Amino acid sequence: MLQQPLINKLMELRLDGMVRALQEQMESSQYEAFSFLDRLGLMIDREMVHRDNKRLQTRLKKARLRYNATIEDIDFRAPRGLDKQMILFLSNCQWIRERQNCIIIGPTGVGKTYLANALANRACRDGYTAQYARISVLVEDLTIARADGRYRSLMHAYARTDMLILDDWGLIGMTEDERRIIFDVIEDRAELKSTIIVSQIPIEKWHTIIGDFTLGDALLDRIVHSSHKIILKGESLRKKKKALSE
């Protein structure tokens, strides 16, 4: 069979990885000593890698992470109380398999959101789905969805995501409607999926922020007791970087 018709058929079958591998084999003499099965095996391996990478890119795109953060790029040198062993433990994603949660607390600028995004990136690379959402945007999206009939489908999307990051938790007080929406999101995920909550507010003050003691108890019961806690401290890393650059 002529080379180009063969390539065209592989492309029609959407075997892009095999196409690239075949083209490399045709352009290099180093493969001439390989048997047919060896060369076929290399093409199949390339196709599998290509598909894995494509699925990863899809998961990362759907995650809508705020930062292109990775575990490998986390700075453990800054004095902010970051436990390297805890991060390494979380990076193996066992806590996601066990449907546990994570709470990241600390002042502004110490890298809370970056850290959460790095954990989500790691989860995506391990085959899990993830999604980043600021609390205010999540509430706004779900409020609009109630009006246009998308509420159930959007809630289902949040519920089935393996890891959901809720950022800026408690940044402003919650109205009754906001409390109910947030409770519904967390209730749908409790003991079924993993949630990361990122906040500047210490956990002991969450009741005040939530503004309803009974609902606050219900929310905390579904999150806090099954959570790994990361408490950060220190000065803003952004301020330090800006000072160094001036």
Which pLDDT tens digit goes with each residue over 140-161? 999 999 999 999 999 999 999 9
Q: How confident is the model at residue 239 (pLDDT cuts 50, 70, 90)?
A: low
The answer on 127 and 74 residing in a single domain is yes
Nearest Cα neighbor of 50 from 6, 18, 11, 8 is 18
pLDDT at 4: 82
The mean pLDDT value of the chain amounts to: 88
The answer on 211 and 141 residing in a single domain is yes
The answer on 166 and 134 residing in a single domain is yes
Share of the chain above pLDDT 90, in %: 54
Residue 20 lies in domain: 3-62
DSSP 72-139: GG----SSS---HHHHHHHHT-HHHHTT-EEEEE--TTSSHHHHHHHHHHHHHHTT--EEEEEHHHHH
Token pair in block for residue 221: 């019961």
Q: How confident is the model at residue 209 (pLDDT cuts 50, 70, 90)?
A: confident
The answer on 74 and 40 residing in a single domain is no
Our count of domains for the chain comes to 2
Q: Kindly report, residue by residue over 16-69, the tens digit of the pLDDT.
A: 888 888 888 888 888 888 888 988 898 898 889 889 889 999 999 999 999 999
We report the CATH number of the domain holding residue 204 as 3.40.50.300
Is the per-residue pLDDT at 99 higher than 80? yes
Nearest Cα neighbor of 193 from 158, 168, 154, 162 is 162
